Amino acid sequence: MNAATVLVVDDSAPKRYLLVNWLTRAGFTVREAETGGEALRVLPGSGIDLVVLDVKLPDMSGFDVCERIKTDPAYAALPVVHVSAHAVDVNDRTQGLNRGADAYLVEPIEPDELIATCQAVLRYYSARRRAEFLAARLVRLAEATLAINLASTLPALLEAAAAGAYDIFGGPVVVLAETADGDSLAAVGSPPVIRPWSLSERNAAIGSLVRTDQPADWDVADWPEGDEVAVAATRLRIDRPSVYVAVRSSSQTPGFPVLRQLSQAVAAAVEAQRSYDEEHRIAITLQRSLLQSSLPSLPGVQTAVRYMPAGSQTEVGGDFYEVTMLDGQLLVAIGDVAGHSLHAATVMAEVRHAVRAYAVEGHPPGTVLALVNRFMRRVLPADSATVCLLVLDPVTGRVRMAGAGHLPPLLHTADGVTFLQPGGALLGINAPRPDDLEFVLPRGGTLVLYTDGLVERRDEDIDVGLAALRRVAAEVDPDLEDFCDRLLLRLGAAGQADDDVAVVALRRG
């Protein structure tokens, strides 16, 4: 406390000598000024911690000097103690305190009273500065926590954490965590850079702790010479590695409260992201296991399929496709069961197998869908699905097609692009079904069946997506695999769509 620097402002040399002498003997560093103007000129860059200010000065009153100090944002937190041998009544003291002074001493002043008053005022302002400093850090911590929790991937999360740590503490920063695949990633510096880097794991217990490491242990960053590294390590589960936030030790306050809270926020977000990534991977694996794994090879007919899970879903979806040879005919189906859940995936599997089972019996597409609809209404009365089903004779190109509430298939021929309208209500409701749509797929003609994730967006009408599909499909690549990839890329469905995407393309050679 006594290492503080005090500015004594008084035009009386004898009185100033006494004040300086008392404060110096008490351990303060003291500077002097004779006038208010001189005092105001001394303040910038001086490192003054306290002003002892006479009320009666030759150029302006001490009240005015104090008010100018307190209304300047740069010095508003600078404590001021008035001393006076003239302005000594209640009104004077009231005016001094009302205009910003922190204490008011009336001469004659005892040395001990002056020292005790200065120390008390400095203690208060020291505590106030610590509280304001901590409050400012907590505000930045809240902002950083929000950014961390808004991140959609682990690298983005680590970048947000490192940026937040730099904003709070300044200087070199390292945020270290492990991915769901066991890879160790570090976000380093400002702006943060993601790079592979690992730290020798210690036997950390579950919980949060802050320790001091040597810079050599964290050589992924450049640390100031002579400084150590404050490392907050948080481990939420015994089967998970710790998450680390490393900053300069000199940036820390006693107890490391903000660093500890930041590391806990990062660890919680990393755990949520890891769980999401694991669930997403399991969901995709399950979804693909329910879909057809290979396509039949058929002379004269090219086929290609694509399935892309929704970029924002961890649950399995209800999209499916089927491409199968039955008695020399190519059976093609595409469908979508409402919902994203394990139940939706289960219904999807049942509908797909029901379509195949009824088709094996030799029924035409419309009858197959009618039978599947009856099956769903009896066995799955709370569910619904859309399906488009066709059979193609690869020799003649003859197609029979039936629909159940599904989006219109796209037909590309030498005459241009058209959307077919097989009609039909979705599966799961009691409604009459139209006759099958029959046509001939000419040689070189291409059919595209798809689910709504290819063309539907939350902020657009479905007609906008269909028009975009028509434009993209106006030209068909010689290789259907390339064509399907281009559809997904140009229509923004390459892993970023709001819904799952299934596409089946077939061309008669």
Q: Around Cβ 509, how many Cβ atoms within 10 Å?
A: 10
Q: What is the spatial distance between Cα 347 and Cα 341, in angstroms, rounded to a whole number?
A: 10
Q: What is the pLDDT of residue 480?
A: 95
More confident position, 460 or 341? 460
pLDDT at residue 420 is higher than 70? yes
Identify which of 1, 33, 7 has the alpha carbon closest to the alpha carbon of residue 116: 1
Q: Which of 274-283, 346-355, 397-406 has the lowest mean pLDDT?
A: 274-283
Look at the block and give the residue holding tokens 């020291």. 126
CA atoms within 13 A on the CB side of 311: 13
The model's pLDDT over 192-223, given as tens digits with 9 standing for 90+, comes to 999 999 887 666 778 889 999 999 999 999 99
H or E element, residue 143:
helix 111-150
Identify which of 456, 442, 325 has the alpha carbon closest to the alpha carbon of residue 391: 325
What own/partner pairs with CB < 8 Å and gap ≥ 24 does 441-444 have? 441/392, 441/397, 441/398, 441/399, 441/411, 441/508, 442/397, 442/413, 442/414, 442/508, 443/397, 443/508, 443/509, 444/413, 444/414, 444/507, 444/508, 444/509
Average pLDDT over residues 180-194: 91
Q: What is the pLDDT of residue 76?
A: 85
The percent of residues above 90 in pLDDT, for the chain, comes to: 71
Average pLDDT over residues 329-339: 93
Look at the block and give the residue holding tokens 């205009």. 99
Q: Around Cβ 86, how many Cβ atoms within 10 Å?
A: 11
Q: What is the pLDDT of residue 87?
A: 59
H or E element, residue 54:
strand 50-54
Average pLDDT over residues 322-333: 94
Q: What is the spatial distance between Cα 299 and Cα 143, in angstroms, rounded to a whole number?
A: 61
β-strands 80-84, 50-54 pairing: parallel
The model's pLDDT over 357-410, given as tens digits with 9 standing for 90+, comes to 999 999 999 999 999 999 999 999 999 999 999 999 999 999 999 999 999 999
The model's pLDDT over 17-52, given as tens digits with 9 standing for 90+, comes to 999 999 999 999 999 999 999 999 999 988 899 999
Average pLDDT over residues 136-159: 94
506: helix, coil or strand? strand
Q: What is the pLDDT of residue 283?
A: 67
Q: What is the pLDDT of residue 203?
A: 61
Average pLDDT of every residue of the chain: 90
Q: What is the spatial distance between Cα 97 and Cα 235, in angstroms, rounded to a whole number?
A: 52
109 pLDDT band (50/70/90 cuts)? confident
Which tokens go with 428? 């799961």
Q: What is the spatial distance between Cα 147 and Cα 144, in angstroms, rounded to a whole number?
A: 5
Q: What is the spatial distance between Cα 243 and Cα 212, in angstroms, rounded to a whole number?
A: 15
Q: Which alpha helices (H) appear in 291-385, and where do they start and end?
A: 342-360, 365-379
Which tokens go with 71? 């209304």
Average pLDDT over residues 258-268: 95
H or E element, residue 432:
none
Provide Rg for the chain, Cα atoms: 38
pLDDT at residue 285 is higher than 80? no
Average pLDDT over residues 488-501: 74
The percent of residues above 70 in pLDDT, for the chain, comes to: 95
CA atoms within 13 A on the CB side of 141: 18
Distances (CA, A) of 39 to 69, 86, 134, 367, 468: 10, 20, 31, 98, 73
Q: What is the spatial distance between Cα 409 and Cα 389, in angstroms, rounded to a whole number?
A: 10
